[in-house]
Structures are given as structure tokens and as C-alpha cells.
Amino acid sequence: MKSIFVFLYIAFLAADIPPGYYDDAEGLDGDSLRLALHNIIDDHNAQSYSSLHGHFESTDAKPDGMVWDMYSDVPGGTPPYIYNFTSADQCGNYSEEGDCYNREHSWPKSWFNDAMPMKTDLFHIYPTDGYVNGMRSNYPYGEVTSPNWTSQNGSQRGTMDTYGYEGTVFEPIDEYKGDFSRTYFYMSTRYYTEDSGWDENDMVNGADLKAWAVEMLMDWHFQDSVSQKEIDRNDAVYEIQENRNPFIDHPEWVDCVWGECNTGAENQPPVANAGPDQIVSENQLVTLDGSESYDEENIALSYMWTPPNGILLSDPTSATPSFTTPIAEDSIAFIFVLIVSDGEFDSEPDSVTI
């Protein structure tokens, strides 16, 4: 007899922000907000450099327990290679992609002269393929117009001539641009007024972002909204460092610091609707339906579905992605979560479970 899969609505895990954590930032904008946030997240519990690999197991593990490497991952697909959290997979020497992973300072440590506590701040350090990390070097992030090298997951290095900047840059894939943009907004805030001795280069002057970088990173922030991955990582790093990335907890504060603070009077967050419950059989093509999601201002929505471990969606950015139910001996419940964005605000998550 075929197994039956039942869709159920469940509560979605939200960020575990301590009560009152951001009270001193309420009602502020511009540099006043940036300084208030700096004071809130300052003086974190700095870690040793050798401890980072161990911390990655709680901050950067995929649902299947493998290393979540944003330089090799293929969201919704199969990565070209994967790493375990073992010393055998840690670099070491490397000569090509897939050899090993290491500790990527997304804000290159040469920009702050290898100083502490920036050198071990987990909010900007990620486990990434060593070879891709080396190809990125300490080039700024940017949007490549003429690539001279492309990684196996589509990340690129090459020249850029947009946003008023011309030079060599490294471009991560679209699905993780928001992650890196919010990383940079964190760094620019955490070390605000504490950047004595930092370098000036094409992207930053100390902890301050150059104008072209602000414009580009804000675009990335709005185009790739906060994911469950970031929320979970923010909570995990908080457990270790005892500080948070405020731009993951409050994405609207990016605009309030570097743009024009929107109180929400003109635009309200959209509403996600993950669709009705379904009863389906094993080995069946199933289509999720988020088409009833809406925005009161009729702004076009972008969609991001988060499937459970082991389930591949045809297109997690579609309103109606599909997948095939697995073969199973018993009934199974799988959680699917939908968040929609109008480009300024994200919806509250809605979920439906197979």
C-alpha cells in the first residue's frame, strides 16, 4: 500500500532575540542608529583562531550535517563537491576545487591588518573551498562584467564596470549575495569608531563602505532577503560570541542607516500563503502553491521556499515549485516554508508540511 503524506501547517522558528536587546536603537536612524547598534553588539566574546573550525559545526552545518560552503553550494541542486567536518577535509594544501575547505574572511583580514578581534569574528568568517577562497584573494565583492575565472557553482572573478567602480572583483552566486551584504553591514557597524589602523582600499575606508559599495550591497540586501540559514546562524553565533547581526534581526535597519528610514506607513510587509493542505501518495509529482501570497500595495513579489532535508524543489524561487515525493514505508511529515518579499520587506513565514 502506498504511503500517505499529509500537509499540515506548523509554527516556523523565528530568531531568538533576547528581550530588550535592541531597546537602545529604537526610533533612531542614520549615524545615530549605527552608533547605537555598535554599542549594543560591541565587546563580543572573541574566540581563538584555532577554535573556528569547531564552531563551524554549529554555525555552518547543512541540515544533513555537511559543511555549508557558499562558494560551492548549489541551492536547490547538487553541489559539485561537499565537505565533512573532519580534519581530513580541512586545508592543508590544495591545487583545485574540491580538495579541502578553510576559513574565509569575507572581509579580508589584510584590510584590518590581521588584528583581533576582527580576525576571529564569526559573523564574517565562513567555511569555504580553499581553492575558491584563494582565487577570491582579497578582491572586493562586486558584479563581474567580464569574467576571467568561474567556479563550479558559478561564482566569478573578473572585472567590473558598474555602480561607478572599475576594477577586479569577486562575485558570489545570487542566492548568497544578501548573506554577504548583511555581513558587510555588520562589520561596518560592529567596528564603527574602532577602525584605527585599518586600510583604505577600493571598497572600504576603514570600517566605512565606499559609496558604490553601499549602493551595490543595498541592492543585494533587497534582492536576496534574509533566509532561515542566516537566522539560524545568527542565533548560533550569538551563543558563542554573545552578540548578534542586527541586519539579520532587523533588515529594515539597512535602509535606516545607509538610506532613508521607512516607518512602514507607505508600505506594509507582504503576506505569504503557502497554500492549502494536501494528501498525496509516494513517488508523486506535487506542486506547492504560494500564488495566494499578496502585497497590499500590489508590488511584485519574490518567493523563497525552504524545503526539508533531502527534498529538491524544481525552483525554490517560483510561486509554484514542484517535487516528487519519496518512496517510504511509513507516513512522513516534511516541512516546507515560504517567505515572500516585495523588495523592501519580507513577509512573516508561512509553512506547509508534507
pLDDT digits (tens, 9 = 90+) for 157-182: 999 999 999 999 999 999 999 999 99
Q: Which amino acid is residue 174, in one-letter code? A: D
- Sign, CA torsion 318/227/175/7: negative
**In the chain, what is the straight-line distance between the N-terminal and C-terminal CA atoms, in Å?**
18
- CB of 71 within 8 A of CB of 153? yes
Q: What mean pLDDT is reported for the chain? A: 92
- Sign, CA torsion 256/161/154/112: negative
pLDDT for residue 4: 36
Q: From 256, 218, 210, 193, select the one nearest 41 (Cα to Cα).
A: 193
pLDDT band at 9 (very low <50, low <70, confident <90, very high): very low
DSSP-derived secondary structure letter, 241: H
**Angle of CA points 198, 119, 210, to nearest 5°:** 40
Q: What is the pLDDT of residues 80-120, one digit of tens each?
A: 999 999 999 999 999 999 999 999 999 999 999 999 999 99
| Alpha carbon distance 164, 151 (integer Å) | 26
Span 134-142, average pLDDT? 98
pLDDT band at 14 (very low <50, low <70, confident <90, very high): low
Span 311-332, average pLDDT? 89
Longest dimension (CA), the chain: 69
Q: Which amino acid is residue 213, in one-letter code? A: A
**Which distant-in-sequence residues (6+ apart) come within 8 Å of 152 by Cβ?**
72, 80, 81, 97, 98
- Which residue(s) pair with 101 in the sheet? 90, 129
pLDDT value at 290 more than 60: yes
**Which distant-in-sequence residues (6+ apart) come within 8 Å of 50 by Cβ?**
none
| Alpha carbon distance 92, 134 (integer Å) | 13
- CB of 341 within 8 A of CB of 225? yes
Q: What is the pLDDT of residues 204-256, one digit of tens each?
A: 999 999 999 999 999 999 999 999 999 999 999 999 999 999 999 999 999 99
pLDDT band at 265 (very low <50, low <70, confident <90, very high): low
DSSP-derived secondary structure letter, 106: S
- What does pTM read for this prediction? 0.74
pLDDT for residue 10: 31
Residue boundaries of the structural domains of the chain = 1-24+268-354, 30-258
Please say whether the structural domain 1-24+268-354 has been given the CATH code 2.60.40.10. Answer: yes
13 sits in which H/E element: none
- CB of 353 within 8 A of CB of 10? yes
233 sits in which H/E element: helix 228-241
The grid coordinates of residue 338 equal 515560504
Q: CA 46: distance to chain centroid?
A: 22
